[in-house]
Structure 1
Amino acid sequence: MEAGDKELSEDTNHFLLYQGKPLNGIFVQTNPILLEVYETEYYKGVPHGRYTAKKEDGTVLEERNIRYGQKHGKQTSYFANGTLKQKSEFDNGIPIGEYIDYFENGQMATYQTFYDSGKPKVAKKWNRRGQIYLNQVFMESGESFGRPGSKLCDPIPDANINPK
């Protein structure tokens, strides 16, 4: 089904309907400004299955798995040039394992791990120069230890530059 189809509607619980019945199939939306196409599998009117976002030329921007409206399984996104932007994993909407976010040059930008409850266990963030500015470890109670973030110093000038 394409967005804008007159047979599509939504019920009071926000289930997607086709001809008055819960949608089973693939719902396709196109963003003409960003030149992107989004495809979402639906089952009984809710997102369930695979979600993909692509440029109109077919370049994959995001791949996500959904179980009854919740992120479930591996999630990945990519920059327009095809390099990995982010990877994570969910169990029925709860983050598990590792969440890693990258800069376009491939350097790690964010790294997180999680307790079984989905609460953060470790969080680290770097700037584009590779300097860490956040490094925390969390207890499951919420108490944290480490560097919660600070202002970084200006970079040291190149050795080739002579002050006058």
Structure 2
Amino acid sequence: MTNDATEFWDCARANATELQTTLVEGVTLVTYGGESFTGEMVETTASGEVLGVTGYRDGLQDGEQREWYPGGTLRLEGRCRVGLAVGRWREWHPNGQLAKEQTFDNQGNYVAVKTWDEDGKLKKDKTFGGE
């Protein structure tokens, strides 16, 4: 899998080094030029390789989040809504094998989690109260 950093938003795109974070009542807000940021935050290596793309709306994580290992192997993908993880989140080992799958309800509560070792052997399979 390659790091196809397609745009998740039809608005601003900023490198992570251009944004500021502020902790307000336990919530991290992201700003750009003193204003709440709406758009994509892009994390890159010094050579410009994309390592992460995260969507924001009004300073809160909102939308797709994807991260890659150097070289382009997908590391993580998931979605936030108004700062909360929702739906299915997945993480991969550097060899491309699925490492973790977490499911969250619409309020950001854990519903289930599964983990695998680098060879694909299931290590954990747990369901929590929720949906």
The match for 1:2 is: 15
1:18 aligns with 2:29: no
Deviations 1:106-129, CA, capped at 9 Å, x for gaps: 111111011128xxxxxxxxxxxx
Secondary structure at the counterpart of residue 16 of structure 2: coil
Matched, 1:93 2:116: no
SS at match of 2:15: coil
Distance, in Å, in 2 between the alignment partners of 1:12 and 1:114 is 29
State the SS of the aligned residue for 1:38: strand
Q: How far apart are the structure 1 equivalents of 2:118 and 2:23? A: 41
Q: C-alpha distance in 1, partners of 2:102/2:79?
A: 11
For 1:28, the equivalent position in structure 2 comes to 42
What amino acid is the match of 2:110? P
Q: Closer, same or farther in 2 for the Cα pair 1:19/1:84, shift >3 Å?
A: same
Structure 1: 5+ residue runs without aligned partners? 118-164
2:119 maps to amino acid = N
Letter in 1 for 2:99: K
Deviation of the 1:12 alpha carbon = 5.6
1:77 aligned residue (80, 91, 96): 91
- Aligned pairs for 1:49-88 within 5 A: 49-88=63-102
Q: Describe the superposition over 1:34-65 as per-residue Cα deviations: whole angstroms up to 9, x where unpaired.
A: x8712110000110111111023221110011
Instruction: Tell me the TM-score normalised to structure 1 length.
Output: 0.61
Which of the pair has more CA radius of gyration? 1
- Report how many aligned residue pairs link the two structures: 112
CA distance in 1, matches of 2:23, 2:76: 29
CA distance in 2, matches of 1:4, 1:69: 20
In 2: Cα distance, 1:36 partner to 1:102 partner: 26
Give identity over the alignment, percent. Answer: 24
TM-score where L is the length of structure 2: 0.75
